[in-house]
Each structure stands twice: as C-alpha cells, then as structure tokens.
C-alpha cells in the first residue's frame, strides 16, 4: 500500500529548493505526493526564522498539524528548515506530537531517518550543522513541465550581520562542487527547464578549489554556455563582495538576466556599522552606478530594514534619501525584530513598535511611487518575456521580463516555456498588462 507525503514550505527560495530535494528523495523511496495534509502519512513543515512573523506563522501551522495527529496517531509529523535547526529538541517539548526535527544540513538523510522512526517508533532530532551541502538528487521527470527552477550553489554565511540568524541556522559558508552544479543544471534543462536561479546566502563569495581558482563569475560563464538554458538569475548578493568581474558579466553574458537583488538594509553609515554590513552608503551607491554603467537597463531590487536599534529619525531620513536617489525597481522592506542569539538582540536603544510601523509605512509609500513611475515608462514599449504559465487572474498567460517584472497577456495558443515579445499597454505597481506581438488576441 503506497504512503503519501505533504510538505508545506515557508520562507525563501532556498527553502523551496530544499523542499524539492526532499520530495525527490521521498518519491525515490516510494512515497507519493498528497494534495492536502489530511490525506498524508507524512507531514513536513519547512520553516523560516529570519523574521519573527515567519516564525509565528510556522508555530501556528504546527499547532494545527499536532491537532490532526491526535486524530491520526500513526501520522508522522516533522519540522525542518531554520526553526528546526535553531530550536532543536525544544520543539519536541513544546509540541509533543512532533516525531521529527530535521536541521538544514540533515535533509539528505530524510529517508534513513524515517526508517528509524517507523521501526523504533521513537522521536528523532537531527541537527548536525557541520555536514556538507546536499548533493543533487534526481527523480526522473520531477521537473517536467516546469519553466524555471533553482540550484543551490553554496550553503551558509560567514558575515554575521548583527541582526541575522542565518549563520547560526545555515552554518558557515561551503560552496558546492562545480561538476555537481553543472550536472544538476543539465538535468533540469533535459526536463524542459528554461530558466535557472542560482541560490546561496551570499553567491558573490562562491569559490572552489584548493586555491579558490573557480569563483562566481567563472561559474556563471560556464553555465551560460549550456545549450537550452535561456535565462540565468542569481540571489542573494552581498554588496561587500560584489566584484568588478561579476558586474561585467551583466554586459558580457546574453542569457544572464539584467536584474540584481542587492540588499542595502539601511541608508545611514552609523546604522550600517551597527549592523556589521561591511560597506558604506557611498560604496553601495557607487556599486549601483557601476552596474548601470555596464548595463543601463538593469533592474535593481533590494532589502531594507526599519527600526534597527539606535536608528534615529535622521538615520531613517538618510535611508529615504538613498531610496530616492537610487530609484530601485522594487524593495522588500521589513520591520526589525529581535532574533535569538544575535548581537542586535542584546543592543540597547530599541525603537518603539508604533514608530517602526510608522516609518515602514512612509518608506513603502515612497517606494510604491518610484516603482509605479518606473513601470509606467514601459507603457507603449516592447518587452521580451519568458512565458511561465497561467496567470492568477485567470484566462491569461503570465511571464516575466529579464528585469523580473510580471507581465499578463491573452493568448489562445500554448506558448508556455517560450520567449515571446509583448507590447505593454498598462503598468501597475505589481505587474504589467500587455498584448502578444503577432497575435490577434
């Protein structure tokens, strides 16, 4: 009798990649996917703890799944991802219905660990963070029908920004072997994937070899030559490690998308120093200007945090000033929240929550205006998009420009996975509406 699994994924693209890795391992061992948790014999929740809101959401879902397990005692319930790594055995104490706590470096052992749980009916906590990054796994046809996918090229982070939990829950930086990355890319392309996003906590610091002779720009150039790979993206970049060689890749590689996500986090040098970011506002703006010199049409998106300890109104105004000067295509903005074990958790000068909410609202309104203005410049222009599938609006197709802007349009033919040209009719804050060139639709 077949067994069924259900995975809920929260958080970043790395978590999505890890969930796909687990799915393939489970399906190779005979499990089948279940559409809802109620139909599953195994439920896994892949979690994020980078921000307090994500952690609260994960605990809420876990509580509901524990209630389901009370009605079905034979169900195996597990948690993986960053919360699992951070909290470890404490999760078993808090949620007695849990059977498995699986750390971020342990996911490659999932099938072995499940056998232990089934045979011995005992709970397992596996959180060894010293293990090497997972090796590629292949369940034949798993990615068939998908236009885009991810490859993790490195794991962990050595930067220790004062607010960030990542080095503690993802471990220290370890790069993956180039041969494995190439093998994984070729496997994806063979199944019809047209766009690959390279993942890492800091892809800019990727290196391989005893003398670190292979760096990230070299890896990009090698991948760019693969037949059938229409687009390459990468995330996330750290400004302090953005080299001139990498900047030049945007001008040299035709299938490297003209988009970079480069978090700046704060516009005040005082706050950047408290954050231990390793660069100044002046250096950050210099990098953006350099990128735009090499690739004038490049889209730049970023992360920014408001309400960091000791952030004055003057510091916040400097952040707004940087946003207005740099005119990002989009921003992912967040409220500061204490993360257990970080240096910032112990800092004095915490900002009032109402003030943080006010600053975030002001910042988001400023960026909303900039994003809409930039999108409006595309009205009446022709753009190339990679068609990804059906639009959420229904009755339309959707795709993205090389600059990572969503475009919705009508078409009666199945053109998923193709590069097509679209005339932009209307621009909104979060998407564009267009007409397929050469179509009567």
The residue length of the chain stands at 441
Mean pLDDT of 336-350: 95
Which of 257, 284, 313 corresponds to the end of one domain? 257
Which of 109, 126, 143 corresponds to the end of one domain? 126
Mean pLDDT of 129-153: 92
User: What per-residue confidence (pLDDT) applies to 439?
Assistant: 64
Do 164 and 105 share a domain, yes or no? no
Do 166 and 118 share a domain, yes or no? no
Mean pLDDT of 196-211: 95
Do 16 and 118 share a domain, yes or no? yes
CATH number of the structural domain spanning residue 236 = 3.30.750.210
Do 372 and 386 share a domain, yes or no? no
Reply yes or no on whether the pLDDT at 165 is more than 70: yes
User: What per-residue confidence (pLDDT) applies to 272?
Assistant: 98
Tokens of 171: 């471990």
Residue 208 C-beta-side C-alpha neighbours within 13 Å: 16
Reply yes or no on whether the pLDDT at 418 is more than 60: yes
Do 296 and 207 share a domain, yes or no? no
Question: Could you tell me if residue 441 is inside a domain?
Answer: no
Reply yes or no on whether the pLDDT at 112 is more than 60: yes
CATH number of the structural domain spanning residue 98 = 3.40.50.12160
The string of pLDDT tens digits covering residues 49-106 is: 888 888 999 999 999 999 999 999 999 999 999 999 999 999 999 999 999 999 999 9
Query: How much of the chain, in percent, has pLDDT values that exceed 90?
Result: 90
Q: Strand, coil or helix: what is 403?
A: coil
User: What per-residue confidence (pLDDT) applies to 114?
Assistant: 96
Do 312 and 372 share a domain, yes or no? yes
Q: Which long-range contacts (CB under 8 A, 24 or more apart) does 114-117 make?
A: 114/42, 114/76, 117/76
Mean pLDDT of the chain: 95
The string of pLDDT tens digits covering residues 361-380 is: 999 999 999 999 999 999 99
Segment (H or E) for 420 = strand 419-427
Specify which residues 6 forms β-bridges with: 43
Tokens of 398: 């959707």
Q: Which ranges in 308-352 belong to alpha helices (H)?
A: 313-326
**Domain that includes residue 33, residue range:** 4-126
Question: Could you tell me if residue 405 is inside a domain?
Answer: yes
Do 234 and 181 share a domain, yes or no? yes
Which of 126, 146, 175 corresponds to the end of one domain? 126
Do 286 and 199 share a domain, yes or no? no
Do the Cβ atoms of 146 and 195 come closer than 8 Å? no
CATH number of the structural domain spanning residue 387 = 2.40.50.140
Counting the structural domains of the chain, the total is: 4
Question: Could you tell me if residue 359 is inside a domain?
Answer: yes
Question: Could you tell me if residue 77 is inside a domain?
Answer: yes
Reply yes or no on whether the pLDDT at 428 is more than 70: yes
Do 359 and 392 share a domain, yes or no? no
Question: Could you tell me if residue 144 is inside a domain?
Answer: yes
Do the Cβ atoms of 417 and 231 come closer than 8 Å? no
């Amino acid at each position: 009798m077949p067994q069924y699994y259900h995975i809920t994924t929260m958080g970043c693209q790395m978590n999505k990649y890890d969930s796909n890795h687990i799915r393939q391992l489970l399906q190779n061992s005979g499990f089948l996917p279940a559409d809802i948790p109620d139909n599953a014999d195994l439920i896994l929740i892949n979690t994020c703890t980078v921000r307090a809101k994500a952690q609260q959401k994960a605990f809420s879902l876990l509580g509901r799944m524990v209630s389901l397990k009370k009605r079905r005692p034979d169900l195996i319930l597990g948690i993986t991802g960053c919360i699992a790594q951070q909290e470890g055995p404490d999760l078993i104490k808090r949620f007695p219905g849990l059977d498995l706590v699986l750390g971020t470096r342990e996911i490659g052992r999932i099938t072995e660990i499940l056998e232990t749980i089934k045979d011995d009916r005992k709970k397992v906590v596996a959180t060894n963070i010293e293990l090497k990054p997972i090796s590629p796994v292949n369940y034949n046809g798993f990615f068939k029908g998908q236009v885009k996918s991810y490859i993790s090229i490195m794991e962990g982070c050595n930067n220790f920004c004062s607010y960030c939990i990542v080095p503690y829950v993802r471990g220290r930086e370890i790069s993956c072997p180039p041969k494995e990355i190439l093998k994984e890319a070729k496997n994806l392309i063979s199944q019809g994937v047209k766009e690959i996003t390279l993942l890492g906590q800091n892809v800019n610091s990727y290196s391989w070899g005893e003398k670190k002779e292979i760096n990230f720009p070299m890896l990009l150039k090698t991948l760019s030559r693969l037949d059938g790979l229409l687009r390459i993206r990468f995330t996330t970049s750290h400004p302090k490690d953005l080299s001139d060689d990498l900047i030049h890749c945007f001008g040299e590689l035709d299938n490297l998308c003209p988009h970079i996500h480069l978090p700046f986090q704060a516009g005040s040098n005082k706050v950047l120093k408290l954050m231990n970011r390793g660069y100044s506002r002046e250096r950050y703006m210099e990098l953006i200007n350099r990128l735009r010199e090499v690739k004038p049409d490049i889209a730049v998106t970023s992360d920014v945090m408001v309400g960091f300890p000791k952030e004055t109104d003057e510091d916040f105004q400097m952040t707004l000033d940087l946003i207005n000067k740099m005119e990002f295509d989009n921003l992912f903005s967040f409220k500061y929240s204490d993360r257990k074990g970080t240096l910032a958790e112990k800092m004095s000068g915490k900002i009032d929550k109402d003030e943080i909410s006010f600053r975030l609202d002001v910042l988001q309104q400023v960026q909303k205006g900039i994003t809409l203005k930039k999108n409006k410049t595309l009205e009446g222009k022709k753009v190339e998009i990679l068609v990804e599938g059906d639009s959420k609006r229904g009755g339309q197709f959707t795709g993205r420009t090389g600059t990572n802007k969503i475009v919705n349009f009508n078409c009666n033919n199945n053109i998923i996975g193709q590069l097509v040209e679209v005339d932009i009719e209307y621009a909104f804050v979060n998407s564009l509406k267009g007409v397929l060139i050469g179509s009567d639709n």
